[in-house]
Copies of this chain bind each other. A is one copy, B any other.
Amino acid sequence: MASGKEVAQGLQWRVMVPCGTSLKLEMESGSIDQEGLWLYHLVLAAKLKVSGFMKKAWKIGADDPRKVVHGIKVGLALALVSVFYYTRPLYDGVGGTAMWAIMTVVVVFEFTVGGSLYKGLNRAIATLSAGALAVGIHWLASKSKETAEHIILGSAVFFLSSAATFSRFIPTVKVQFDYGITIFILTFSLVALSGYRVDELFDLAKRRLTTIAIGVSICLLVCILICPVWAGEDLHLLITRNMEKLADSLVVCVDKYLKEGGIDGDKEASCQNLQGYKCVLNSKASEDSLANLARWEPAHGRFSFRYPWRQYQKVSAAMRDCAYCIETLNSCINSETQAPHSIKKHISDVCVKLSLECSKVLKELASSIKSMKKSARINYLVGEMNNAVEELLDAFRSLQQADSVPLFESLPVVTVASLLIEISVRTDRVVDAVEDLASLACFEPADSEKPELSKPPTSSVSSIVSQGEDAMKALQQV
């Protein structure tokens, strides 16, 4: 939005400049020149608008060249279909069979393999089942009188399309068969209302199915063989990247607050790192859609068929819980301008240490998911994180014993510390979710001399987690 506005402002300015210099000309040469200038400005404005749009498009392509490749792939698939049909010229026209192949390619070709498979399979199955059903009802109707026939067919279309449309509101149906239902209604209506005789219909159905099959095959071949984009891999990358961003933004956030006394000074500098948690907050919709599409994909790369994609959504939900806390922490920090250095100093080291330990845990989890290996160090790191929580609590106890520090002065620091402890508790939940993922997706055991480390010993994760929760409770109860 900001860049759009900038472009518009730039536009205004550049158009205004010739406007200013043109005043003299105008007085000399009258209305014809004025008209020419008006046209000139219009062309200039259009040129600027177009160049702004092209710059935006160029940036999108440069950031992710796969998007450009996708465009070329669609063009290629269409060219292949047309070559296929040019061998027997299309002089039966737009209404002919080839139309369905072109239509299939245009409608089914999606950015990810999962998307194309979802649409292709939905289209094929829906066409087949709706066609069969429509031919059946046609056959039934053809046994009765002509008026009755029309009534039977009309009411069949009415009731089936109503029911099918309604079924799209059922979440499980919506997620897996939304496109299929559209095609079902379409095919059923077309066949039922066509007015063909039943034997003609069989011929038509056969031809239409063949064409759709050819369209879907060309589409899937191009999609899978040329630089395939797998929804599963994208989801995998998105989750690990978001986890790293979360870790970074936590550290930057605490660091800025405690070490430099407010971040108003160089807000822009490490703004990108600081705002990383926002990616986690905003990526739910794309994660859900990628997870749904990934389920349609065959085994690819390191991912088997029936890989537990759903678990990624759980990991990301746990990450989002962390991000909510960081968001609150961030605003606590932003609203603070002058920090009471005496108290800050007392606990700043332990706070920074805790944030670093949380961040190390998150980064270890990210690299464990990335490499698809169980981590040998995670138990150790979680232990360190819980030690840091203990240290923070100890720091508070000593603050209390010092007695010289009044309650009111320590309020902001207390809030930040409380939130940090809550974040460590939530990081523990991310650990749990990733461990579930590791066991569901059969991650390789860790490269470790002590193999028992890869399975949590009785006194490790769960007890450490409960220790962390106890610590949190202690902080809130005492």
Residues of chain A whose beta carbon lies under 8 Å from any beta carbon of chain B: 4, 53, 56-57, 60-61, 64, 67-68, 70-72, 74-76, 78-79, 82-83, 85-86, 89-91, 93-96, 98-99, 102-103, 106-107, 109, 150, 154, 157-159, 161-167, 169-170, 172, 182, 185-186, 189-191, 193-196, 200, 204, 208, 282, 284-285, 321, 324-325, 327-328, 331-332, 335-340, 396-397, 399-400, 405-412, 414-415, 418-419, 422, 425-426, 469, 472-473, 475-478
Contact yes or no, A396 B410, CB < 8 A: no
* Inter-chain contact A75/B400, CB cutoff 8 Å: no
Interchain CA distance A21-B282 in the complex, whole Å: 54
**Assuming the A-B contacts A57-B170, A154-B82, A407-B396, are A90 and B195 also in contact, with contact meaning beta carbons closer than 8 angstroms in the complex?**
yes
Please report the C-alpha to C-alpha distance between residue A60 and residue B415 in the assembled complex, in whole angstroms: 43
Whether B477 lies near A167 (C-beta < 8 A) is no
Partner of A473, one of B90, B172, B335: B335
With a cutoff of 8 Å between Cβ atoms, the chain B residues found around residue A396 in the complex are: 407-408, 411
Query: In the complex, how many angstroms separate the beta carbon of A327 from the nearest chain B beta carbon?
Result: 5
Asked whether, in the complex, the Cβ of A167 is within 8 Å of the Cβ of B415, the reply is no
Nearest chain B CB to A107's CB is how many angstroms away? Answer: 7
Given contacts A78-B157, A79-B157, A170-B56, contact A94 B194 (CB under 8 A): yes
Given A106-B189, A162-B72 in contact, is the A91-B195 Cβ separation under 8 Å? yes
Q: Which 8 A-B pairs have the closest CB atoms?
A: A95-B95, A412-B476, A71-B166, A75-B162, A415-B418, A75-B158, A71-B162, A71-B165
Question: Within 8 Å CB of A339, what residues of B?
Answer: 477
Q: Is the CB of B475 within 8 A of A85?
A: no
A332/B158 in contact, CB under 8 A: no
Write out the residue numbers on chain B whose beta carbons fall within 8 Å of the beta carbon of A194. 90, 93-94
Q: Report the minimal beta-carbon distance from A424 to chain B, rounded to whole angstroms.
A: 12
Given A186-B106, A422-B332: A193 in contact with B98 (beta carbons within 8 A)? yes
* Other contacts beyond A78-B185, A400-B408: 10, CB < 8 A: A4-B172, A56-B170, A57-B166, A90-B193, A94-B190, A94-B196, A102-B193, A107-B182, A321-B331, A336-B473
CA distance A248 to B406 in the complex (A): 35
Q: Report whether A186 and B57 are in contact in the complex, using a CB–CB cutoff of 8 Å.
A: no
A–B complex contacts, Cβ < 8 Å, 27 sampled: A53-B170, A75-B162, A75-B165, A76-B158, A90-B193, A93-B200, A93-B204, A94-B204, A102-B190, A103-B186, A106-B182, A106-B189, A284-B285, A324-B328, A325-B331, A328-B328, A328-B419, A331-B426, A332-B422, A335-B473, A337-B473, A396-B408, A396-B411, A400-B406, A405-B407, A407-B410, A414-B414
Q: How far is the CA of A418 from the CA of B170 in the complex (A)?
A: 42
Q: Decide: A408 and B397 in contact? CB cutoff 8 A.
A: yes
Do B477 and A166 have beta carbons less than 8 Å apart? no
Give min CB distance, A439 to chain B, whole Å.
Answer: 20
Task: Please report the C-alpha to C-alpha distance between residue A281 and residue B59 in the assembled complex, in whole angstroms.
Answer: 31
Residues on the B chain within 8 Å of A478, using CB: 340, 408-409, 411
